Amino acid sequence: MTEFRRKLRYQQAQWRERNGHPIGSQPMNPKLGGPMRLVGSRLPLEYAVETGANFLTPAALEAARARVSIKEREQSFDRQGLWADLLSSAALSFNLFGDLAADLELADRAVHTWWPDAPGIVSDVRFLHSPGRLDVAYLGNLSSFDVAFVLDRGDGTKGILGLVTKYHEWTKPETPKPENLWRYLEVAERSGNFVPGATDAVSGRSNLWEPWLTHLLLLSMLQHPSGTWSWGRCVFLHPADNSDFAEACARYRGLLVDESTFSSLTIEALLAAEVLPASTGAAVRERYL
């Protein structure tokens, strides 16, 4: 529990109190008479689902409700946390980009402000999205993007900007599943994106596993036999003070020959472009930064 993470927990508890929301618990949905403890950075689950209090704008709440109403194949995400955990990075994604899901013209302006080289026109905004979980034609695991901007390139193919949003998380070391390693190495080799020996740094226990696997998901889309995806980029978003992910993304970029398919951006820089509605930007800054 770093000073940075303690600060964000306290910050979210203060935001909850300022806005008159009741305190949540661990577990988020406690059994009657069962053990529980109060957690200041959470909302009571039933209250959170009923009010949508974790979402800062009507468009963010609408996008969240629309997403939980559908089910992608083999999807896996923390529904309770999405509603009740004020530290949820998934909820932050809806709060940042919900307005864009409701207005594709605004989404197109925003994407081309943040990433001017992105080709095509934004035709869809998808949350908690994977093109095919457990599908070995992609990556064969449960990797997904928090937000995906789909771009229509006008030639029958699509571009994809796959975003991963991190807030209070740290880069916990993990080991990719050995039974999937052959596929990961195959995608990495076919891409030609990595310096010699780079995969040795990430195929064992490493705190770079998440950038690597999410980037590989993007690369697998570009390699898919359907030819649907002709351009793509994986982007990690994080607060400037989240030094764990800032350093991890910098080290991961050092493994790449070609950085055109992977980048990172601070949430502060994203907001500084001032392409989101002013009220949304102000609400995000006040709550999260």
pLDDT tens per residue, range 50-64 = 999 999 999 999 999
Average pLDDT, the chain: 96
Strand order in the sheet with 262-266: 121-129, 145-152, 158-165, 229-238, 262-266
Q: Say which residues have a Cβ less than 8 Å from residue 67's Cβ, sequence separation at least 6.
A: 94, 127, 128
Q: Is the preceding omega at residue 27 within 30 degrees of 0, hence cis? A: yes
Tens digit of pLDDT for each residue in 191-222? 999 999 999 999 999 999 999 999 999 999 99
pLDDT-based confidence at residue 139 (cuts at 50, 70, 90): very high
Closest CA to 119 of 87, 155, 143, 91: 155
Alpha-carbon span 36 to 151, nearest angstrom: 46
Alpha-carbon span 185 to 182, nearest angstrom: 5
Tens digit of pLDDT for each residue in 106-138? 999 999 999 999 999 999 999 999 999 999 999
Q: Tell me the pTM.
A: 0.96
Q: What is the mean pLDDT of residues 67-85?
A: 93
Distance of CA 68 to the CA centre of its chain: 16
Segment (H or E) for 201: helix 198-202
Question: Is the separation of the CB atoms in 176 and 213 below 8 Å?
Answer: yes
Domain ranges across the chain: 3-288
pLDDT-based confidence at residue 33 (cuts at 50, 70, 90): confident
In the chain, the percentage of residues whose pLDDT exceeds 90 is 96
In the chain, the percentage of residues whose pLDDT exceeds 70 is 100
Q: What is the mean pLDDT of residues 251-275?
A: 97
Tens digit of pLDDT for each residue in 86-109? 999 999 999 999 999 999 999 999
Tens digit of pLDDT for each residue in 178-194? 999 999 999 999 999 99
pLDDT of residue 1 exceeding 70, the answer is no
pLDDT at 228: 97
Alpha-carbon span 176 to 173, nearest angstrom: 10
